[in-house]
Amino acid sequence: MSHFRISGAQVTQYNADGYLIVPGLLDAAETRLLADAARADRELLAHASGRADRSGKPVDISLWNHPGDDIYGTIARSERVVRTMERLLGGEVYHYHSKMILKQPRVAGAWEWHQDYGYWYSNGCLFPELASVMIAVDPATRANGCLQVLRGSHLMGRIEHGRFAGQTCADPERVEQALERMELVYAELAPGDAVFFHCNTLHRSDANTSDQARWTLICCYNSRHNDPYKESHHPRYTPLEVLPDGAILTGGARTASGNDSWLDPARDRTSRVSTG
């Protein structure tokens, strides 16, 4: 079976738009294993914490730094993801962290406008040479708070961020001007679809007002040569063992059977959310 490999035209599109949507990054079997494993993962929920939006509704997130051999780690280390990140970031990358966004039906709040580099700048990353891939576990729609991006906003560079309500957000004045000049895109995804996006791309999501959950796995990467100059709660350069794409099904089966511990100390899972 062939798996996704990014083309030169898609790299050009990403560089112009600041994001790239890839339908079917995970196939049906891989997506089903990811969904089943995540729903059965009690530690994922136990270690989740969140930040309130402007209305006071929480957004829950569970975050970890080091990818293991379970379904989450094998996706993060798979060739189709890592090789894509290498093309987008221009060389060797390492795993910066991963997280699961848990937007529960009716109660989950919004993420305000922000750039990931608005957070990661403070972690000692000198250059905006980081990117993320968001993979839909559930259908992501406007009703349940799918990702929104401003096309081309990464070209603005880093915007000042500050505390607004319970979240760290981009300068509202700059965001207002950007909204007047750039296209707002709703990244509606089917399970298994993905969106790769630049660390300076402005993005947000609405509250989940539907009866359907919207869980998404996000894997974040940094360029090797952008190794942070100081310690933070995310790792400095750590060589990444890239796995063949077929390992995702093996990792999924291992997780589903309970043979891979969520609490393995080497995994260093945390629930920090304030700094991305």
pLDDT digits (tens, 9 = 90+) for 11-32: 999 999 999 999 999 999 999 9
* Number of folded domains that form the chain: 1
Averaged confidence pLDDT in the chain: 90
Is position 275 within any domain?
no
Mean pLDDT of 192-217: 97
Is position 32 within any domain?
yes
Residue of 199 and 47 predicted with greater confidence? 199
Q: What is the CATH number of the domain that holds 176?
A: 2.60.120.620
Is position 19 within any domain?
yes
Is position 28 within any domain?
yes
Give residue-wise pLDDT tens across range 61-75.
999 999 999 999 999
Is position 276 within any domain?
no
Residue 33 near residue 249 (C-beta atoms within 8 A): yes
Residues of the domain holding 253: 8-270
Is position 225 within any domain?
yes
Is position 148 within any domain?
yes
Interacting residues of 256 by C-beta distance below 8 A, sequence separation 6+: 33, 36, 37, 40, 71
Is position 1 within any domain?
no
* pTM assigned to the model: 0.92
